[in-house]
Structure 1
Amino acid sequence: MDELWEGVLPQLRERLGTQNFETWIKPIRAKSPAADELALEVPNKFFRDWLAEHFLASIQELLAQVAQRTVKVSLSVNQHLPPGAAAPKRVERESIKPQRVSNLIPKYNFENFVVGASNQFAHAASLAVANQPGDHYNPLFIYGGVGLGKTHLINAIGHRIVERGPGLKVFYLSSEAFMNELIASLRRDKMDEFRTRFRNSDVLILDDIQFIGGKERTQEEFFHTFNSLYESHKQIILTSDQFPKEIPDLEDRLRNRFEWGLIADIQPPDVETRVAILQKKAEIVAVPLPHDVAIFLASNIDSNVRELEGSLTRLGAFASLTKTPITVELAKEVLQNTLKGNQREVTVESIQKTICDYFNLKLGDLKAKRRTKNIALPRQLAMYLCRKYTSTSFPSIGNKFGGRDHSTVIHATKTIEKKIKADPQMSATIEKLEKNLSVRK
C-alpha cells in the first residue's frame, strides 16, 4: 500500500499544484494497517482538518484510479512528525503564489464597500459566504441593475476567502470569459484541462451569468461544473442583472440550481448612501469634495453607482487640470450632460402615472386586487415597463403594485413580451407609452 501512495504522489502534485503539494501532501506519512486501507499521519489537528476539508476528496479519487478499487483513507495526528508548512502561521500569503487566485480585481474589497439599506442584505450574505465558504449559502446568487456593486461584492468575497485560506484556489471570471475558455479548449482538444481547472477549484465566482442564456454547450458544461463543485461542498458565487426565473433561454435545471442557495438583490442606493459612496470614493482618489457638492451630485445622479463615481472622477480631473476649486457651480458646468435635471427620470412611480393617464385609471386601480381586463392589462404593461426601464427588482415592483408576489411580476412581463411578438397593436401601444415616458423619440 505504501507503493500505492508513492504512485499517486505525482498525480497529486499535478492536480493540486506544486505549492499545495509541498505544503499539504509532502509532510504526510502513509501506512497500511490493513488491505485496501491507507492511514495518513499528519503533524497536527489544524493540518488534519484542512486536509480533510480541501484535499481528501482528490486523494481518494486518485487512489481509486491508480488502485482500480476503492481505498479507505483515514487521517490521524502524529505530533512527532515535523510540522513542515502545516502550522497556521507558516501558511501565510508570502508562501502562496498569486496564481492560486484568478483575476480578482484588487481595488474591490469589503473595506471600501459602502453599505446602505439598498445593499445591506447582499453585503451581509457576502460576508457570511466569505467567512464560511461552502457551508451554508451555496450557491450565492446576487442580482441587480448595472453598476450597483455586484462585481465589487463578489471580488470582496474572493479577497476575504484568500486572506483566510491562502492555499485555496479561487477563480473569478465573467460568464463570457468562461464560454470563451470553453471554445478555446474545444478547438485545442483540451477539454480535460478545462474541466480539471474549474472543477477542482475551491471557489468559483462567475459574473453576469445571464450571458449563458441560449448558449447550449456552455450551459451543458457549466451544469456539470456546478454539480461537481456543489457535491464537493465548494463555494459557487454568481451574479446577474436578472432574477433566475427571468433569465431568458436558461435551462430549467440550471435555473433550479441557482435557487438552491441564497438569492440576494441590490437596489439603487438612496441619497444618503450615494453621499457616503461619493465621500468614500473622494477619499480613495484624493479629491477634495465639499459636502454641499456631494449632496448636489447624490441628489442629481441616481441611476447607478458606476455613473456616480465616474462623475466624481470627471469633476476631480477637471478641477485638478484647471486648478479650479470644486463647487456646485463647477459641477453643474462639467456634468451638464449627466445631471438628472437635464433628462426625465423613469421610476416606478412615473410609469404608474403614465399608465393611469393613458388608460384613464386611478393609481388605486393598479394596486387593487381586481383582475378585470380593463385593469389587468394596464397593470401588466406597467410592470413590464418597470422591468425594462428601471433597475427595480421583481419583489420591489410587486410591493409597489399592492404587495403582489414577484412571480406575478414575472408572469406579467412574460405575458407582455408574448403579446408584443404576436400583436402589432400591442407594439404600437407600448411605443406610445414610451414616448409619454420620454424614453423614445
Structure 2
Amino acid sequence: MGKYALGVCPHVVHGKSFWRKNINMKQVNYDELWRSVLGDIELSISKANFSTWFKNTKILVIEDTNVVVGVPNGFAKEWLENKYQSYILQALRTHQPSVSTMHCAVYNPQEVEAQKNTVQSQPQSDTKTRSTQKQSAPPHNIPTGSPRVQTQVMLNARYTFDNFVVGDHNELAKAACHAVCSDLGHIYNPLFIYGKVGLGKTHLLQSIGNHVRTQDAEKTIVYTTSEKFTTELVNAIKNSSIDRFKAEYQKVDLLIIDDVQFLAGKEKTQEEFFHIFNALYNLNKQIVISSDRPPKAISTLEERLRSRFEGGMIVDVGQPNLETRISILQTKALEKGFYLSDEVLRFMSENIKNNIRELEGALNRVIAICDLRRQEPTQELVEQALGEIIKNNTKKCV
C-alpha cells in the first residue's frame, strides 16, 4: 500500500520536512512530467470531465515505481482512483516507463505553493526562522466583520450527496455539483442543471447548499425558486425597497435558483435578475440554476440571460434505467425504515418509470397500506395498492 495509503500527503497534515526537500530538488521535473501526462489524458476523455477532475492536480512525489498524485479534495481522489486510474497510468508509463502504480493524496495547493516559495527564497539553514514565521502567519478565514444577509431557510437537511443515487443518467450532473462545491465561483459558473420533473434536480441543488453550509458556516447561501424570487421582487417594488432587495441578493456567496423557466415572460423580473446575476458573477460568487429544459428551449427568455446561462456548464439529468430505479427505491425504503423484497423492488421499478418522485409516492402509498392493514409488503398486496398508478403509467408509455 505504501506510506501514503490513507490518501493524505503527510506533509500537509503533519508538517514534516520530507515534502519541502522534494519541492526544492525535483518539483520542476514533476511539473513537466505531469503537464505531458495531462496533455495525453485530455485527448482521451471529454472536456467537461477533464476540467472537473484534473484541475489543480499535480505529482507530489515519485517513490520508486509509485507515483503520488495530489488532488484538491476527496471527491477528486475517489474519481481519479476509481474512474481514471488506467488513463493516468497509461499516460505516465508513456513518459516514465518505470512507473507501476499510482494513487492520489489530498493536498492544499496554496500551502504547497507557499512552502515552495519559502524554500526557494530562504537558506536551508534557516529552519528555526521559517518555523517562527509559519507560527506567526495570520490564520485563514478570519471574519472581516462585513454585514451578511440571513441564509434563506429553504434547505432541507435530508437532501445530501451521500443519499443521492448515481446512475448513467445523472453521473455528470452530480460530478459537476461536487466540483462546484470544491471551488465556488471558479470551476463552473453558472452551473445550469436541466431535466424533466421528478428526476432529482432539486435533490442536487439542495445537496450543494447543504454541503457548502456544512463546510463553511460563514458562507451566505440563498436557495429559492424563480416564483418566490418574483414574489419578493413584486413586494419590493410595492414597498419602494427595490434597491435594498437587490443589495441583499448581491451579498450572497452562493445563489441557487430552482425552476428558472418560470422567469420566462416576466420582463421586469428578468431585468432585475440579470443585474443581480452580473453583480454576483463579476465578484466570482457561485450561481446554480435548474430548469425543466435547456436555456435555448426556454421561450420568451431574454437573449442576454440565455447567453449568460449558456456561458457556464450545462448538464442534464435524464431518465434512470431499471437498475438505478431499483437502487433508488431501495434507498428510499431503507431511509423510511421499511424493507422491500427484491421481487417487490423489481415489480415496482418495472411498472413505475416516469420519474423518481412518482416512484417515491408509490412507496409512500405501499407503506401506508401496509401499516393500516398490519401486513407485509408482498407482491400481491403491492399490485393491489398500486393498481391505478400502474394502469396510468401503462397508458403514458403506450
Calculate the TM-score normalised by the size of structure 1: 0.57
- Partner residue, 2:340: 289
Q: Is the 8 A contact 2:149 2:220 kept in 1?
A: no
CA distance in 2 between counterparts of 1:199 and 1:247 reads 25
Q: CA deviation at 1:101?
A: 5.0
Aligned AA (2:249)? F
CA distance in 2 between counterparts of 1:78 and 1:305 reads 52
Q: Give runs of aligned pairs for residues 255-294 of structure 1, distance below 5 A.
A: 255-294=306-345
CA distance in 2 between counterparts of 1:340 and 1:115 reads 28
2:157 pairs with 106, 109, 118, which one? 106
- Partner residue, 2:390: 339
- Partner residue, 1:389: none
Gaps of 5+ in 2: 1-109, 115-132
- Partner residue, 2:194: 143
CA distance in 2 between counterparts of 1:225 and 1:341 reads 43
Q: Is the 8 A contact 1:141 1:237 kept in 2?
A: yes
Aligned AA (1:207)? D
Q: Is the 8 A contact 1:205 1:237 kept in 2?
A: yes
Gaps of 5+ in 1: 1-44, 50-76, 92-96, 347-436
Going from structure 1 to structure 2, the CA distance change for 1:124 and 1:164 (only over 3 Å counts) comes to same
Q: Give runs of aligned pairs for residues 209-288 of structure 1, distance below 5 A.
A: 209-288=260-339
CA distance in 1 between counterparts of 2:287 and 2:375 reads 48
1:182 pairs with 220, 227, 233, which one? 233
Q: Is the 8 A contact 1:301 1:340 kept in 2?
A: no
1:301 pairs with 332, 335, 352, which one? 352
Please give the root-mean-square deviation of Cα atoms over the aligned residues, in Å: 2.4
SS at match of 1:263: strand
Going from structure 1 to structure 2, the CA distance change for 1:98 and 1:156 (only over 3 Å counts) comes to farther
Give deviations 1:101-120, integer Å, cap 9, x for gaps.
54212211101100001111
Residue 316, structure 1, aligned to residue 316, structure 2: no
Query: How many residue pairs are counted as aligned between the two chains?
Result: 265
Q: CA deviation at 1:193?
A: 1.7
- Structure number with the bigger relative contact order (C-alpha 8 A, sep ≥ 6) is 2
SS at match of 1:344: helix
Q: Determine which structure has more spread, i.e. the larger CA radius of gyration.
A: 1
CA distance in 1 between counterparts of 2:294 and 2:383 reads 36
Q: CA deviation at 1:130?
A: 1.4
CA distance in 2 between counterparts of 1:79 and 1:197 reads 38
CA distance in 1 between counterparts of 2:384 and 2:149 reads 45
Q: Is the 8 A contact 1:119 1:265 kept in 2?
A: yes
- Partner residue, 2:38: none
Residue 121, structure 1, aligned to residue 202, structure 2: no
CA distance in 1 between counterparts of 2:238 and 2:365 reads 43
Aligned AA (1:333)? Q
CA distance in 1 between counterparts of 2:280 and 2:299 reads 24
CA distance in 2 between counterparts of 1:285 and 1:166 reads 29
User: Identity of paired residues, percent?
Assistant: 43
SS at match of 1:299: helix
CA distance in 1 between counterparts of 2:356 and 2:171 reads 15
Aligned AA (1:159)? N
Q: Is the 8 A contact 1:171 1:204 kept in 2?
A: yes
Going from structure 1 to structure 2, the CA distance change for 1:194 and 1:302 (only over 3 Å counts) comes to same
Q: Is the 8 A contact 2:222 2:254 kept in 1?
A: yes
Q: Is the 8 A contact 2:189 2:312 kept in 1?
A: yes
Give deviations 1:24-78, integer Å, cap 9, x for gaps.
xxxxxxxxxxxxxxxxxxxxx99xx9xxxxxxxxxxxxxxxxxxxxxxxxxxx99
Q: CA deviation at 1:345?
A: 3.5
2:185 pairs with 128, 134, 151, which one? 134
Q: CA deviation at 1:165?
A: 1.6
